[in-house]
Structure 1
Amino acid sequence: MELYYGEMESPVGELTIVSDSKKAVRIDYGSFAEIEDKLRHWSERYFDDPEFIQEPEKVDLAASELREYFQGERQDFTFDFAFYGTPFQQKVWQALYNKIPYGDTKTYKDIAQTINNPKAVRAVGGAVNKNPFSIVVPCHRVVGADGKLVGYGGGLDKKEFLLTLESE
């Protein structure tokens, strides 16, 4: 299976966007070289014999929409993407994408309640941590029960930047 990737600079550092040629399948912090092992490990779970090919034009739409987001010109993303994860993870990611509006925040408990599993707060945290679509699926909008910034795969500095960008 051929997977295509492109890299882009952003105000929160380099991003790598991966596509199966039809839909984006991941957006991660870091250059491909920095996260290659992570991407190979992940892709082997979901694709037969994955091969990564650098072809930025295959991810142009996603990159363009991300640039617009960082320029304050976009609040929603329209490019096609596909989730690869457990059914529970996919349910959590879909809730993040659909239920946390631009500029708003929710707690892990809020998300657990949204997916009709109010006791799954820790499991929600685990799924949020595995989010394959940095920025687009807004796990940066998930905060602790006390409203404080907690855990973010990209680092709390990036989370704070994104939340500040969305509040302006």
Structure 2
Amino acid sequence: MPRSASAAGRTGASDVSLTVLPTPLGDLRLAATADALVYCGFQPLAEVRARLARTGLREAGQDGQDGGGARRAVLDEACAQLDAYLTGRLRSFGLPLDLCLATPFSRETVSSLEAFVPYGSTATYGALARALDRPRAARAVGTALGANPLCVVLPCHRIVGSTGTLTGYAGGVDAKKYLLALEAGGHQRVGG
């Protein structure tokens, strides 16, 4: 189970390093501090940088002082685990995570995902809302999942519409299909 660090105690600006990981789903952008992965998603780099800046995080050179090696180590481990996951060799991530890019409700929602909906299964937005003790908040849950700063790692792709339909995903519905097929033991080409 990934360990999550709270963003509540963060003060001042922190340096992050960024990388792009080519995957069968398309390019994943990753950002890490010296302590944890803070972003894994599909947004263009300019949008990722803007999102980071809004929370006081700033991009630093990957080989710079003040934790450049530690940031690189977090990114390297994240890339290795994502590669293992996307090739069916890993079912659960063991990365240090920091949800500083998430709102409090989004943080609560995405933090519950791995325990609520295990590898290879799905649940509905409504069921997740009920599990969060907010039975009428299915739409809010959908919005929170749409803002998940740690896609794939925190498995929002496992949440489906009330009829089992594959609705919205940051990487697109084809990426969601791919991830669900992978977890079900099948292999599917993105777009196919």
Tell me the TM-score normalised to structure 1 length: 0.90
Larger-Rg structure: 2
Deviation at 1:20, TM superposition (A): 0.9
Report matched runs for 1:6-25 at 5 Å: 6-25=19-38
Amino acid of the structure 2 residue aligned with 1:14 = D
Amino acid of the structure 1 residue aligned with 2:53 = E
Deviates more, 1:69-78 or 1:7-16: 7-16
Select which of 55, 61, 78 maps to 1:46: 55
RMSD between aligned residues = 1.5
Considering fraction of residues, name the structure with more helix: 1
CA contact (8 A) 1:97 1:136 kept: no
Cα 1:111/1:53, change in 2 over 3 Å: farther
CA contact (8 A) 1:97 1:138 kept: yes
Count of aligned residue pairs for this structure pair: 163
CA distance in 2, matches of 1:95, 1:155: 22
Deviation at 1:51, TM superposition (A): 2.3
Q: Residue deviations 1:115-164, cap 9 Å, x none?
A: 11111111101101000111111111110000011111110010001100
Cα 1:93/1:136, change in 2 over 3 Å: same
Report matched runs for 1:14-163 at 5 Å: 14-29=27-42, 35-47=44-56, 50-54=58-62, 56-84=72-100, 85-163=102-180
Amino acid of the structure 2 residue aligned with 1:153 = A
Tell me the TM-score normalised to structure 2 length: 0.80
CA distance in 1, matches of 2:62, 2:128: 35
Runs (5+) with no aligned partner, structure 2 = 1-13, 64-71, 186-192
Match of 2:190 in 1: none
Q: How high is the sequence identity, in percent, across the aligned residues?
A: 33
* Runs of 4 or more above 3 Å deviation: 52-58
Runs (5+) with no aligned partner, structure 1 = none
